[in-house]
Structure 1
Amino acid sequence: MPRRHQLAALAQLAVLTGFPVGTALAQDGAPATGSAQSLPTVTVSAAAVDDAGLQLDRKASTGALGSRAQLDTPYSTTIVTGEDLADRQVSKLGDVFAMDASVTDNSNGYNSWSSYLSVRGLQIDWQNGYKINGLPFIAYGITLPYEHMEQVELLKGLPGFMYGFATPGGIVNYVTKKPTETFTAAFELGYRAANVWSEHVDLGGRAGPDNMFGYRLNYTHEEGTPYNARNINRDTVSLGLDARLTRDLTWTFDSIYQDRRSTGQMPSFSLWSYGDTALPANVSGRIGNFAGNDQHLNTTLQLYTTGLRYQINPDWAVSTNYSFNKVNRSRNESTYNLLNQAGDYNDQRYDTAQNQQVGQWQAMLEGRFRTGQFGHQVVAGLSWQKQIDRYDNNGFGGQIGTGNLYAPNTNTYFSSTAFNKVRNSDITQKSAFASDTVQLTERWSVLAGLRVTNFEQNGYVPVTSSYTKNGVITPTLALMFKPVPAATVYASYVEALEPGSIVPDGFTNARQLLSPIRSKQYELGVKADQQKWSATAALFRIERGAEYDSVSGGVPTRRQDGTSIYQGVELAGVYRLGPQWEFGGSAMVLDTYYDKGNPNADNRVAGAPNLVLAGRVSYRVPFVPGLRIGVDGKYTGNIKVNATNTLQAGGYTVFNLGATYSTRLAGKDVTLRAALNNLTNRQYWGFQYENYLQPGDPRSVSLTARVAF
């Protein structure tokens, strides 16, 4: 559709529905009648009364623990619904959990840092920390199609027992849209600053005898010029199928294919050769003086999963599933190696290609039974997973020029190489797991779980290495108390083992596979869900083997030595005042330091803020039925940029506005939605990774119009 027609279509829908042109619009898939009016209609972090809250009654996947309501899970968790994602016009990972103070945004939706996110000061592992429908995929460089998601779940802390290998930051699980019981059809047209247009189609329903077969098809096309890149062109299709083969046997299939191409994306800013003690003045997050059309990040994602579930009887079920995913990446991206506070830099270019693939099979038995006065909820299973990494052996990495942050970059390097990708490393995991939640009394219960893993890591290029260990035990224990049915007090302990990281390009030990790291977590928490309010609180301590970067002669080396400690408290709550108002907020106070055995002992851990605060207010306008408006904000405290603590990025606050308006037009459900991000256009340095920074996202607007047929 030509852009002038797309703009006209948005304006026409706004006028016909009585929504002022130029006012923040919004989008949603819910009808505007009945209960739909009480659904989300909020902002960039305020969605609706029901969809922007803590969602403690919703079930979340917890891996080896099966599926449990957040209220009954003895770990800190967060769920963000698809409606909330749509209301807030989320386009990158860092915005998904914008209202969770435990989460720090390190991401950029258009460059290779798109999957970087910190939880409790720990960055989530792009190799093992991301799942789709509970099954693994490689997230590096991938921005997923959020409009295809039913919800996004976050398990904070150590996931060792639940999922096996992963860093102690946590697990992000994307849940794709599933077949609907009745026919669903919707079309959505969107605009995002600076000039990106999108079209999204959503179809679902059931067919066949007795509605035996279910389907859900989503397709999105996105194209244009974002504020922090020269161009984006994306096509995504996802398909969800199920078949009720018998009353008790169900087959499922889910797939995603995405081809995403961006050019002239925002570079990263490194500090390996930095000579001053304070950072350069903040710069705009618009592409402006930075990357040109010679740079690109092209990715393809393929994911296929299939499974069977058999309900043996009301108390017992057995399931099995298999998944395969493959990610291809071609990146020609600069890193600006900052030299001084005046903003001078060396332009370091990386022109490379990689792919990763992961296959996983899992079988699980879930059931309930009693022994005397004790009730048991058991889960047991087997899992196999293999990841293969391939990197090019003829890419380019080197300095192509110099520049200054406050002047246009004129350096160019166009790709001219046919990449030869070779096997760099592989990791194989085989595990058995079992857990039992024992109901001791009506109020007290105890959970005990154990995962036993055999794993093998092999590195091939540039150095041949291997690490094999059998019988690695990662346990979990939890004690739970319910003072009332709608509240849970818990104490939990869990251990985890994470694979050694693959050292990035630009390091002296680039592409080497480091040794596995063990971690421990202790957590004490409470969750409560009442009619007018919901609240959670957690006190935690995480002990992790330290991995850090040291610099000699301006060239970094990644090392492992000693321990890093993360301890703190996190709070979250939602309060509903009458039918119009909803207030939400969260806070995290975090104390981190490198412990004995590390050369940076007693320093704060790089990338971990001491304080984060987030809040939102949403208001349903009584004299305009279907209209909800809202505002939210998030303060992120200062961050040490490196392990030596010689550089610090200052704290910053970002505010967002948004609105959703739902109505009926010509017998169709119409939803208009808008979000205005970074209302005050605050400029700041955001942390990406140790010794890496990025400019904060500038002020931008997003508009969508959705019609449900």
Structure 2
Amino acid sequence: MKYRLSVLLALSTLGTTSYTPLALAASGSTTDTHTAPKTETGSVAQEKRNSQAHKSLLATPVKGKQEDTVVTGHTASGALADYNKTTATLGPLGTRKTLNTPFSIMTVPHDVIVNQQSRNINDLMAYMPSVQLEIRGDPNTSRPQSRGFEADVVANTRIDGLNAVSTTPYAAEQFDNLQVLNGLAGALYGAQNPAGTFAYNLKRPTEDRLNRLVVGVDSIGSLMENADLSGRLGRNKWFGYRLNLLHGDGTTYVQDSWMRRNLVSADFDFRIDDKTTIEVDASHYTYAQRGQASGFAYSGTIDLPKAPDLSNPGLGEKYSGYNMETNTFLAKVKHSFNENWSVTLGGLYQDAIRQAFGTTNTILNNAGDYSQTIAAATTANDFRVGSNLAYINGRVRTGFITHDLVIGTNGYMMGNYNPTRGESFRLGTSNMYNPRQLSGSQPYYHGRYRSAYINNQTFIVGDTLQFNKHWSIMGTLSWSWLRSESWSNPTAATRTHTSYNKSAAFSPMTSLIYKPTENQTAYFTYGRAFQAGGIAPAGSANENEITAPLRSEEYEVGYKVMIRKLQINIAGFRMTRPYSFLDPTTRIYGNFGTQRNYGVEAQVAGYILPNLSVLAGMTWLDAQMGDTGVTSTSHKEVVGAPPVQANLLLDYRLPRTLGDFASRLAFNANVHYTGRRAANVQNTTFAASYVTLDLGTRFAFRAAHHPWMARFGVSNATNERYWASVYPTSLNGANANANNSAYAGLPRTFHFTIEADF
């Protein structure tokens, strides 16, 4: 009792210590690991190395070809711009080196998040050349795509390996990194769209004490304060904690608008013994905004005009906006039986709530005139998700063959809840290039009913057979049990309830892996997967009926090489998937067509020089629809999928030879290119290509014996006007009369933060 009381007293009297992210690029290679209690990944291992480097209090040289760059031991986060995360978390497969995996994986690491002053998940997606976003009313609630396929609301998104809602706001400050596995992953994660897997990895408790305070300002008056506190207590550091507090409030990028966001998150580790760890995480995030511009809807007969300038106040209304809340709770138990066998159990519950009362601008003609309405949306405003995982990983030998085995299960349940009715008002007309604010008031919705329920559980077995240091075969098989239900609005004249069940749906994946040398990997991967079917829309003969699941197929070949501290990945792929549309003759909505995407993607991450970091990529994509039953939409480009998309982020630290003051300075530049995209299903209009430039600098210094970092950045420095997101009513297929949506990109914005580590 006395000992436990001392722990509580220690929690209430957190001391201070210096912290340094001295994660030098000279760190050694990391072996593949199973999920086990003592495995240190992400921020945990990073912060441990940082603390050890700091304790030396010595300047550490990083050798280059022409000169040595010396980095002092007292630095704040992100100082060395370590942009290559060499490991990936792959669900049932555990944590493995990305170099050795037969998948195309790209990660936005912690150093990018802090140095680019990212505020939400959408900011991080921009660095992924194979990812596009469908902005849903607000940039914080986008629905991601990968390789031209739309992600599911839940099935393609995971927080620490557990399914979670994608179309709800998240604070970037909450996460250590964002990882995207492009392509099919049904054999690993069960029923999901062929849009890749978006993994949000939380910050974990650090081995040494960390007290980090950040204050800043965005745009023209949005203030931000963030406290990140971490450490361990007790004998043998059995209790670890990480507390993250965030508040942001003020005017955004346009006058007469405001934004408010608040985060409280807590992450705890309990080391029961040297083989067992319990992780408990909880977070509460709220996001509200008013007065920002909404999207533009347009029909197939409209030629999409040039994008407007969102800094014009008239494009948004002061009484329109969103109130959103995301509550997440998760827990894991990790136990290692011995050095070869381990088990992981986990569960998550999430409640994502939204109140949407935004405006909709319907384009009337090619000159940019639009009609504006405001409505309390009757789409789903409450998503409740419960997800689970259980994996047993082991390693055995049969003769000369080493087997990395996995047997396990994962899955989720999701319920959607909608208002029964909502108010809607027509506000008037305006022009997107000369907008005027229209008088009106906030609408409200009433009532509540459950509109949908999905239960998806998957059983998984896998084996990676290593024959020698050059050749391996990976095979993973999964069987999924899927149940979908849908209910119509109870106020409808005829209320309907439909359901669909599928048992033991089979999804295989196999890979042939060849490593000519330790720093190179070539692979071929084949996989199949399936996803839940769509719901027949209003106006169809089978309205509200759930279609059969859609089956996808993929072939991928790739090559990876690590040259010193620079990793280069190249992959080619071909993917197919059925899609649904409304038959123009029978008026039946069903799975009739095929979408075929193939392309090549390249990624580069790490150190070009000891003081020059890069995170870059380019994707060439040919995404086409097949026969839709309508001549005008058959064999056309997929809406919103650019043939070419590329991103280049460079970070340069001035060398020590320029003097102590200059060596504390760093500069970064990010160039993003998106090619011309089809803007309707008929391909009669296109969104123009665009290029954006982000610039930033930072300065490290010491005050009161502690490391500080000041950062300043400009996003969209050239104030480019562009359509950031275009998409049709459904990327699973649409008829010739489908409505389309377009959201303009943000104007030039400024960011300044100052960080202190104690």
Q: Could you say which residue in structure 1 is the equivalent of 2:455?
A: 428
2:100 is the alignment partner of 1:69: no
The letter of the residue matching 1:186 is: R
Q: Could you say which residue in structure 1 is the equivalent of 2:471?
A: 444
Once residues 295 and 284 of structure 1 are traced to their aligned partners in structure 2, the CA distance between those partners, rounded to angstroms, is 19
- For residue 410 of structure 1, report the CA deviation from its aligned partner: 3.7
2:328 is the alignment partner of 1:297: no
- For residue 680 of structure 1, report the CA deviation from its aligned partner: 0.8
- Give deviations 1:429-451, integer Å, cap 9, x for gaps: 12211110001222100011111
The letter of the residue matching 2:643 is: N
Q: Could you say which residue in structure 2 is the equivalent of 1:315?
A: 340
The letter of the residue matching 1:372 is: G
Residues 639-678 of structure 1: matches in 2 within 5 Å?
A: 639-678=677-716
- Give deviations 1:411-458, integer Å, cap 9, x for gaps: 455345452111001001122111100012221000111110111100
- For residue 114 of structure 1, report the CA deviation from its aligned partner: 2.3
The letter of the residue matching 2:601 is: E
Residue among 711, 717, 721 paired with 1:683 = 721
Once residues 670 and 573 of structure 1 are traced to their aligned partners in structure 2, the CA distance between those partners, rounded to angstroms, is 30
Query: Would you say the 8 A contact 2:225–2:248 is kept in 1?
Result: yes
Residue among 459, 470, 475 paired with 2:486 = 459
Once residues 539 and 416 of structure 1 are traced to their aligned partners in structure 2, the CA distance between those partners, rounded to angstroms, is 49
Residue among 113, 119, 127 paired with 1:85 = 113
Residue among 583, 587, 599 paired with 1:568 = 599
Once residues 418 and 541 of structure 2 are traced to their aligned partners in structure 1, the CA distance between those partners, rounded to angstroms, is 17
Once residues 226 and 322 of structure 1 are traced to their aligned partners in structure 2, the CA distance between those partners, rounded to angstroms, is 37
2:164 is the alignment partner of 1:132: no
Query: Which segment drifts farther, 402-411 or 234-243?
Result: 402-411
Q: Could you say which residue in structure 2 is the equivalent of 1:329?
A: 354
2:744 is the alignment partner of 1:706: no
Once residues 112 and 392 of structure 1 are traced to their aligned partners in structure 2, the CA distance between those partners, rounded to angstroms, is 23
Q: Could you say which residue in structure 2 is the equivalent of 1:634?
A: 672
Query: Would you say the 8 A contact 1:425–1:458 is kept in 2?
Result: yes
- For residue 557 of structure 1, report the CA deviation from its aligned partner: 11
Q: Could you say which residue in structure 2 is the equivalent of 1:24?
A: none
Q: Runs of 5+ in structure 1 lacking a partner?
A: 1-27, 42-46
Q: Could you say which residue in structure 1 is the equivalent of 2:376?
A: 351
Query: Which segment drifts farther, 606-615 or 433-442?
Result: 606-615
- Give deviations 1:636-686, integer Å, cap 9, x for gaps: 100001221111101011111111222221211101112211111111122
2:305 is the alignment partner of 1:280: yes
Seen in structure 2, the aligned counterparts of structure 1 residues 670 and 638 have a Cα distance that, compared at 3 Å, is same
The letter of the residue matching 1:632 is: N
Q: Could you say which residue in structure 1 is the equivalent of 2:17?
A: none
Seen in structure 2, the aligned counterparts of structure 1 residues 112 and 191 have a Cα distance that, compared at 3 Å, is closer
Residue among 178, 183, 192 paired with 2:204 = 178
2:429 is the alignment partner of 1:402: yes
Q: Could you say which residue in structure 1 is the equivalent of 2:363?
A: 338
Q: Runs of 5+ in structure 2 lacking a partner?
A: 1-45, 63-68, 73-77, 490-495, 729-739
Query: Would you say the 8 A contact 1:93–1:117 is kept in 2?
Result: no
The letter of the residue matching 2:340 is: D
Once residues 259 and 613 of structure 1 are traced to their aligned partners in structure 2, the CA distance between those partners, rounded to angstroms, is 32
The letter of the residue matching 2:449 is: V
Seen in structure 2, the aligned counterparts of structure 1 residues 548 and 157 have a Cα distance that, compared at 3 Å, is farther
Q: Could you say which residue in structure 2 is the equivalent of 1:365?
A: 392
- For residue 101 of structure 1, report the CA deviation from its aligned partner: 1.9
- For residue 162 of structure 1, report the CA deviation from its aligned partner: 1.6
Seen in structure 2, the aligned counterparts of structure 1 residues 577 and 167 have a Cα distance that, compared at 3 Å, is closer
**Secondary structure in 2 matching 1:86:** helix
Query: Which segment drifts farther, 669-678 or 499-508?
Result: 499-508
2:506 is the alignment partner of 1:473: yes
**Secondary structure in 1 matching 2:204:** coil
Query: Would you say the 8 A contact 2:325–2:354 is kept in 1?
Result: yes
Q: Could you say which residue in structure 2 is the equivalent of 1:11?
A: none
Query: Would you say the 8 A contact 1:456–1:469 is kept in 2?
Result: yes
Query: Which segment drifts farther, 597-606 or 417-426?
Result: 597-606
**Secondary structure in 1 matching 2:639:** coil
Residue among 692, 703, 707 paired with 2:741 = 692
- For residue 512 of structure 1, report the CA deviation from its aligned partner: 6.8
Q: Could you say which residue in structure 2 is the equivalent of 1:14?
A: none
The letter of the residue matching 1:592 is: A
- Give deviations 1:54-87, integer Å, cap 9, x for gaps: x2x22x2222322222112211111111221111
Residues 133-282 of structure 1: matches in 2 within 5 Å?
A: 133-140=160-167, 142-227=168-253, 230-272=257-299, 275-276=301-302, 278-282=303-307
Once residues 374 and 546 of structure 2 are traced to their aligned partners in structure 1, the CA distance between those partners, rounded to angstroms, is 23
Once residues 585 and 417 of structure 1 are traced to their aligned partners in structure 2, the CA distance between those partners, rounded to angstroms, is 45
The letter of the residue matching 1:319 is: T
Q: Could you say which residue in structure 2 is the equivalent of 1:10?
A: none
Query: Would you say the 8 A contact 1:113–1:688 is kept in 2?
Result: no
Q: Could you say which residue in structure 2 is the equivalent of 1:5?
A: none
**Secondary structure in 1 matching 2:92:** helix
Query: Would you say the 8 A contact 2:82–2:613 is kept in 1?
Result: no
The letter of the residue matching 1:381 is: G
Once residues 592 and 606 of structure 2 are traced to their aligned partners in structure 1, the CA distance between those partners, rounded to angstroms, is 45
The letter of the residue matching 1:237 is: V
Once residues 121 and 583 of structure 2 are traced to their aligned partners in structure 1, the CA distance between those partners, rounded to angstroms, is 28
Q: Could you say which residue in structure 2 is the equivalent of 1:492?
A: 525
- For residue 136 of structure 1, report the CA deviation from its aligned partner: 1.4
Q: Could you say which residue in structure 1 is the equivalent of 2:30?
A: none
- For residue 165 of structure 1, report the CA deviation from its aligned partner: 2.4
Query: Which segment drifts farther, 443-452 or 377-386?
Result: 377-386
**Secondary structure in 1 matching 2:446:** coil
Seen in structure 2, the aligned counterparts of structure 1 residues 264 and 33 have a Cα distance that, compared at 3 Å, is farther
Query: Would you say the 8 A contact 2:81–2:651 is kept in 1?
Result: no
Query: Would you say the 8 A contact 2:639–2:726 is kept in 1?
Result: no
TM-score (norm 2): 0.83
The one of the two structures with greater contact order (alpha-carbon pairs below 8 A, sep at least 6) is 1
The letter of the residue matching 2:610 is: P
Seen in structure 2, the aligned counterparts of structure 1 residues 574 and 65 have a Cα distance that, compared at 3 Å, is closer
2:616 is the alignment partner of 1:585: yes
Q: Could you say which residue in structure 2 is the equivalent of 1:614?
A: 647
- For residue 98 of structure 1, report the CA deviation from its aligned partner: 2.8
Q: Could you say which residue in structure 2 is the equivalent of 1:8?
A: none
Query: Would you say the 8 A contact 2:536–2:543 is kept in 1?
Result: yes
TM-score (norm 1): 0.88
The letter of the residue matching 2:176 is: E
Query: Would you say the 8 A contact 2:59–2:70 is kept in 1?
Result: no
- For residue 594 of structure 1, report the CA deviation from its aligned partner: 1.2
Seen in structure 2, the aligned counterparts of structure 1 residues 112 and 700 have a Cα distance that, compared at 3 Å, is closer
Query: Which segment drifts farther, 307-316 or 130-139?
Result: 130-139
Seen in structure 2, the aligned counterparts of structure 1 residues 221 and 503 have a Cα distance that, compared at 3 Å, is farther
Query: Which segment drifts farther, 63-72 or 239-248?
Result: 63-72
Q: Could you say which residue in structure 2 is the equivalent of 1:115?
A: 142
The letter of the residue matching 2:594 is: T
Query: Would you say the 8 A contact 1:265–1:287 is kept in 2?
Result: no
**Secondary structure in 2 matching 1:100:** coil
The letter of the residue matching 2:679 is: V
Once residues 621 and 507 of structure 1 are traced to their aligned partners in structure 2, the CA distance between those partners, rounded to angstroms, is 63
**Secondary structure in 2 matching 1:313:** coil
Seen in structure 2, the aligned counterparts of structure 1 residues 71 and 549 have a Cα distance that, compared at 3 Å, is farther
Query: Would you say the 8 A contact 1:40–1:84 is kept in 2?
Result: no
- Give deviations 1:100-120, integer Å, cap 9, x for gaps: 322234447x81762223321
Seen in structure 2, the aligned counterparts of structure 1 residues 177 and 574 have a Cα distance that, compared at 3 Å, is closer
Query: Which segment drifts farther, 582-591 or 172-181?
Result: 582-591
The letter of the residue matching 2:454 is: I
- For residue 506 of structure 1, report the CA deviation from its aligned partner: 11
Seen in structure 2, the aligned counterparts of structure 1 residues 575 and 255 have a Cα distance that, compared at 3 Å, is closer
Query: Would you say the 8 A contact 2:425–2:443 is kept in 1?
Result: no
Equivalences, count? 667
